[in-house]
Amino acid sequence: MLGAKNSALGESLYDVGYHSLVLVDSNENAVKKVATRNESVRPEMAFDSMETNKVHVKSYRTLLQVLSFVFVFFYIRVRLISVMI
């Protein structure tokens, strides 16, 4: 998941059963802070610091997970906007 420092979405996804998450952010200090906050509560969650334009996908399964997340994120966002209108 990209943009780990400002979002609780990764934590929420973990809490509802998505344990194979890797939270990525370009700010190394932010990644350390989020990792420290979650290390005992969400032990399977992984964190990495890298530029978002240089993210490497290790497998097709990971790619599908990323694409699924993006779809769900935008679907929820569209639904929230339509409710607000």
Calpha distance 53→56 (Å, rounded): 9
pLDDT of residue 58: 62
pLDDT of residue 60: 57
Say yes or no to pLDDT of 12 above 70: yes
* Cβ-based burial of 44 (10 A; exposed 0-12, middle 13-18, buried ≥19): exposed
Calpha distance 69→50 (Å, rounded): 19
pLDDT digits (tens, 9 = 90+) for 25-79: 778 888 888 888 888 989 888 877 776 566 565 655 666 677 777 777 777 777 7
pLDDT-derived band at 6, boundaries 50, 70, 90 = low
